[in-house]
Structure 1
Amino acid sequence: METTTAPAHRALSNGHLLIIVLAQFAGTSLWFAGNAVLPDLVRTLPGLTGWITSAVQVGFVCGTLLYALLAIPDRFPASRVFVVSVALAAVANIAWLLGPVRADNILASRFFTGFFLAGVYPVGMKIAADWFRPVLGRAMGFLVGALVVGTAFPHLVRGLGATLPYRTILLFVSALSVIGGLVLALFIPSKPTTKQPGGFQFTQLSALFRPSTYRPAMLGYFGHMWELYTLWAFAPMLISLYATQHPLARINVSIWSFGTIAAGAVGCVAGGFWALQSGSRHVARTFLAISGACIALVPWLLSLPPLLFGLFLFIWGLTAAGDSPQFSTLVANGAPVATKGSVITLVVSIGFLITVLSIQTMAWLTAHYSPSVWLFYLLLPGPMLGVWAGRKDHSNG
């Protein structure tokens, strides 16, 4: 439903925020749907672990670049962009089921799923930034928390329904995402769009990419992205290594993977409330430092009993994702109003390009060397960069 008059702020600060959060959760459940069914696929198509994740990331990068170039998030009603994009992503997610099970079909399907998710995740953030600026840190916490739970959700479906055919899992996730998009389109109004005569002008981004109070936030976000998605993609490998050393613990790798990833939602929401008192910059930098410490410690902790190792994974997952909404808040607050959607989209695009490099490097290392917990040290430069970049950031928030 398209509306050009803004309701009162309070009217969009409770139930409407919940709708946006649930729609974001449903839409982003498409992200790791391929990873959740990966065990069924690698038996016939070995070597897909890194590529099935990277295909989504590359598609997302291409999609965000095109969305930014055409200024789609700023030229069209955001709710409409969201629902059309999530519907196309849902179709792409299941398209490969119509043909033979081949690597090229699967990777093409994952690529276009990621491509159309460019109209879901960043556009959801734009909607939040449009309506909830006075409490944006908290709103972003809920929104990115929904992304995290949505990303983890296919692992939960797989863990609880281990005997379900992978086709059923993919169809369920696609249907869920479309329902979420339709609910958002029906109940969330769009603010008036900025009709631009031409495509997006990158010169409008110069203030953000020159030395400024917001460049540290972007660098911190890039460091955060180097760590986050590679941790999510290879968490099952880490948990499998632990399960091998503790066979009596009877670890359910899918359920533990869900818990590790979903813990980030707790960090996002808790960090959102914390930011109201301490500021987004402080919260983001603290979480980065803790997640970096987790990377440094992980090789020494495989001997822990299951309860303590699970607690460690919870803390790592919580802090690795918990800084994301605060970086998004800092970037959104610094973006020009007329091009806010495209600015967010482009910064997110660069961040996801970084995830491709990180994931593929980790995949290459695991393919050429035996899977080892020491390989997770590859992630350490990300938090180190973010903490270093934020050392002189004196921006408000």
Structure 2
Amino acid sequence: MLPLMSQPALEGTAQAAPGRWSALSRLAVAVVLAMAPWFSAAAVLPQLRAAWVLTDAAASWLTLAVQLGFVAGAVLSAALNLADRVPPRRLILAGALLAAGANLGLLVAGGPVAAGVLRALTGAALALVYPPALKAMSAWFRTGRGVALGVMVGALTLGSALPHLVNGLGGANWRGVILTTSLLAALGGLIAARVGEGPHRFPPAVFRPAQAWRILRSRGVGLATLGYLGHMWELYAMWAWFAAFFGGVLTAGGLTDSGRGAAYATFAVVGVGALGCYAGGVLGDRWGRTRLTALAMGLSGGCALVLAAFSHAAPPVVLALSLFWGFWIIADSAQFSTIVSEVADPAYVGTALTAQLALGFTLTAASIALVPVLVRAGGWSLAFTVLAVGPLLGVVAMRRLARAPEAARIAGGRG
């Protein structure tokens, strides 16, 4: 194993780890399977509405509960430095099995209260899957790390889109979906447990509960996290509400089966982000991550503003703009994590990643809840305008990071 060096030195001297692409493919598959319970309730929400006579508020709670549970789990994990004190594959296995068990509990929940608690527990368990997986893959890649993490996030993006395809095809027996996603999660954990540790391991950490706060206060991680927050303000709110928005566009355009058309369109708009993640990884490694993230957020925020002006246009026009938005809205996502892996204290990279994700998902809960309020107050034009504020502020943070000394440690000195 190579001795610990600064990031620029490593970029210039490290040899590609044998088997790294095999490890990436296996871990990407493992994480998508392990994260399946996150999307399970979304896939069968129409059936749950009918079975449990859910109100709009109760249905929204089932969606937000996973986000909030993930935040709680991530905060606890960061405080305990779990991602830096426990081997990633063991954490992923434990999180996947716990998520599978909580997800199975929906079969006997009987109503929204118990289901909401189980969804929160599912989200908390998945906080042991996603951040450690990003750290684990960072140990396999020193050069090409942006592409590697882009592939990981791209796979998750495609998984996020699949529930909309299920709904477009007419759904399925909700109990079968819950059972299947639970089994997939357990399988994902078992696959991850068989992925060995990469050769570029981070140094061991000691238990320091306040380390997450100290890391976030450092300039490099702090600016990267501010950029990430601008990105997250827009991302999950767009994903959560696009089907409702485009369903209205189709209805206004005279389409009778607007629900199915909106489901297919949402699958395409969210799913195209998987290509965006790969492209973002390639460009981040070649151009520099601060430049790529600023470009992606500028284009994404610009798309939101253009759609605010054209929200009543013909469906083909709106869909074309939305596909462009869907590509760029996620293209930068993995690069924020990659930056943290390059500039944070090497012994606490896992803690830094977990803390960054906790803050980001906390913000998503607020923006998801805000969108329907804005739509009632001023329509989709107002909602998209407010969503655009986040990425445009994120551009400012990343331009500041590009001028900071820490930029020399990002993407082999490309910033």
TM-score (norm 2): 0.86
Query: What does residue range 349-360 of structure 1 map to in structure 2 within 5 Å?
Result: 349-360=358-369
**Partner in structure 1 of residue 45 of structure 2:** 38
Deviation at 1:304, TM superposition (A): 4.2
How far does the alpha carbon of each residue in 1:259-309 deviate from its partner, in whole angstroms, 9 at most, with x for none? 111121111001111122211111111110111011111133345444443
> SS at the partner of 1:284?
helix
Aligned mate of 2:284, from 275, 278, 283: 275
Of 184, 193, 201, which residue of structure 2 is paired with 1:176? 184
The answer to whether 1:55 aligns with 2:65 is yes
The C-alpha deviation readout for 1:4-44, integer Å capped at 9, x for no partner, is xxxx8432321111111111222223223222222223341
Which has the higher mean CA deviation after the structures are superposed, 25-34 or 298-307?
Answer: 298-307
1:167-316 equivalences in 2 (<5 Å): 167-189=175-197, 199-203=207-211, 206=214, 208-210=216-218, 212-248=219-255, 250-251=257-258, 252-316=261-325
Conserved in 2, the CA contact under 8 Å of 1:64 and 1:349?
yes
**What is the CA distance between 1:320 and its match in structure 2?**
1.0
Match of 2:337 among 283, 303, 328: 328
Segment of structure 1 superposing worse, 63-72 or 246-255? 246-255
1:79 to 73, 82, 89: 89
Please give the alpha-carbon distance, in whole angstroms, between the structure 2 residues aligned to 1:110 and 1:370. 32
**What's the Cα RMSD here?**
2.3
CA contact (8 A) 1:76 1:193 kept: no
Q: Secondary structure at the match of 1:200?
A: coil
Say if 1:236 and 1:253, in contact at 8 Å, map to a contact too: yes
Give the conservation status (yes or no) of the 8 Å contact 2:205–2:347: no
Aligned partners of 1:50 and 1:359 also within 8 Å:
no
2:126 pairs with 1:117? yes
Deviation at 1:110, TM superposition (A): 1.2
Q: Give 1:117 shift.
A: 0.8
Give the Cα separation in 1 of the matches to 2:223 and 2:269: 28
1:144 and 2:139 correspond: no
Deviation at 1:196, TM superposition (A): 5.2
Deviation at 1:204, TM superposition (A): 6.6
Return the offset for 1:87.
1.5
Structure 1 pair 249/81, CA: closer, same or farther in 2 (3 Å)?
same
Name the CA distance, whole Å, in 2 between partners of 1:392 and 1:126: 25
Judge conservation of contact 1:154–1:169 (CA < 8 Å) in 2.
no
Structure-1 residue corresponding to 2:385: 377
The answer to whether the 8 A contact 1:158-1:169 is kept is: no
2:400 is aligned with 1:386: no
Shift of 1:64: 0.5
Unaligned runs of 5+ in 1: 1-7
Matched, 1:12 2:19: yes
Output the CA distance in 2 between the equivalents of 1:330 and 1:17: 19
TM-score (norm 1): 0.90
Residue 365 of structure 1: how far off its partner (Å): 4.3
Contact 2:215 2:352 in 1 (8 A): no
Residue 106 (structure 2) pairs with residue 96 (structure 1): yes
Indicate conservation of the 8 Å contact 1:67/1:342, yes or no.
yes
Return 200-209 or 137-146, whichever deviates more. 200-209
Query: Whole-Å Cα distance in 2 between the matches of residues 313 and 249 of structure 1?
Result: 21
**Cα gap change, 1:129 to 1:172, in 2 (>3 Å):** same
Q: How many residues are matched?
A: 385
Q: Which residue matches 2:80?
A: 70
Q: Secondary structure at the match of 1:349?
A: helix
Once residues 204 and 54 of structure 1 are traced to their aligned partners in structure 2, the CA distance between those partners, rounded to angstroms, is: 24
SS of residue matched to 2:128: coil
**How far did 1:206 drift?**
2.7
Q: Contact 1:79–1:190 at 8 Å: present in 2 too?
A: no
Identity, in percent, stands at: 32
Q: 1:277 to 1:189 in 2, by over 3 A?
A: closer
Amino acid at match of 1:30: P
Query: Aligned partners of 2:189, 2:78: CA distance in 1, in Å?
Result: 21
Q: How far does the alpha carbon of each residue in 1:78-124 deviate from its partner, in whole angstroms, 9 at most, with x for none? A: 11110110111122123122131x22122112111110110111111
Distance 1:79 1:357, change over 3 A: same
1:5 is matched with: none
What letter matches 1:55 in structure 2?
A
Give the direction of change, closer, same or farther, for the CA distance of 1:281–1:253 in structure 2 (3 Å limit). same
Residues 49 and 363, structure 1, Cα contact 8 Å, conserved in 2: no
- Give the deviation of 1:205 after TM superposition: 5.0
Distance 1:193 1:326 in 2: 19
Q: Where does the alignment leave 5 or more consecutive residues of structure 2 unmatched?
A: 1-14, 409-414
User: Any idea what SS the aligned residue of 1:108 has?
Assistant: helix
Letter in 2 for 1:142: V
Q: Is the 8 A contact 1:77 1:190 kept in 2?
A: no
Query: Larger deviation: 321-330 or 45-54?
Result: 45-54
Q: Deviations over 1:129-161 (max 9, x none)?
A: 12212221111110111121122222223323x
Task: Give the partner amino acid of 1:342.
Answer: T
Q: Helix, strand or coil: the match of 1:347?
A: helix
Structure 1, 59-68 or 295-304: larger mean CA deviation: 295-304
CA–CA distance in structure 2, aligned partners of residues 371 and 37 of structure 1:
27
* Alpha-carbon distance between aligned partners in 2 of 1:71 and 1:219, rounded to the nearest angstrom: 21
